[in-house]
């Protein structure tokens, strides 16, 4: 009888532990994907060879480098950046230096960070993304921000 009572206590203890559904959530930082295209031709400026990805700099309003990388494969050339969620200034500058024609690109992007807290996690989302002085559009399906420079 004691064995059954001990087994019951052990099973009741493990059964009462509630992991909830938190393990089902996958969270991460807010990420933005940007494609820079020629305003006349619509061609990606890196695919065309007009600019080099090694000349890209992504900084915030304070001039601090923002975590970013350049994705290039199969002529799909885009910039991915992760803005700081703790920054007081929600401004990003994408700068691309042109060493040949000295026609540098300086794109200013402003945005809001939305903080969402739940029982399981805190997550951040980018909202109200705006590009100054350039035409742009965000693909509703992929979230890719295309900027005509």
Write out pLDDT tens, residues 9-38: 444 454 444 555 676 666 777 889 999 999
pLDDT of 82 reads: 86
Write out pLDDT tens, residues 114-142: 888 888 888 888 889 999 999 999 998 98
The burial of 35, by beta-carbon neighbours within 10 Å (0-12 exposed, 13-18 middle, 19 or more buried), is given as buried
Mean pLDDT of the region 99-114: 88
Name the pLDDT band for 85 (thresholds 50, 70, 90): low
Q: Which of 149, 124, 141 is nearest to 33 (CA)?
A: 141
Q: Which residues pair with 112 in a beta bridge?
A: 127
pLDDT of 16 reads: 45
Model-level pTM? Answer: 0.77
Write out pLDDT tens, residues 41-60: 999 999 998 899 999 999 99
pLDDT at 5 over 50: no
Q: What is the DSSP letter of 65?
A: B
């Amino acid at each position: 009888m004691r064995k059954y009572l001990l087994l019951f206590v052990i099973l009741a203890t493990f059964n009462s532990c509630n992991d909830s559904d938190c393990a089902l959530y996958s969270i991460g930082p807010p990420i933005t994907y940007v494609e820079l295209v020629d305003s006349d031709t619509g061609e990606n400026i890196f695919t065309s060879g007009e600019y080099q990805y090694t000349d890209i700099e992504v900084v915030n309003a304070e001039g601090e480098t923002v975590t970013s990388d350049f994705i290039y494969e199969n002529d799909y050339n885009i910039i991915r950046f992760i803005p700081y969620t703790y920054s007081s200034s929600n401004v990003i500058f994408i700068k691309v230096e042109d060493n040949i024609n000295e026609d540098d690109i300086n794109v200013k992007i402003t945005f809001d960070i939305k903080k969402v807290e739940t029982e399981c996690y805190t997550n951040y989302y980018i909202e109200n993304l705006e590009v100054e002085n350039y035409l742009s559009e965000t693909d509703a399906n992929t979230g890719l921000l295309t900027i005509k420079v």
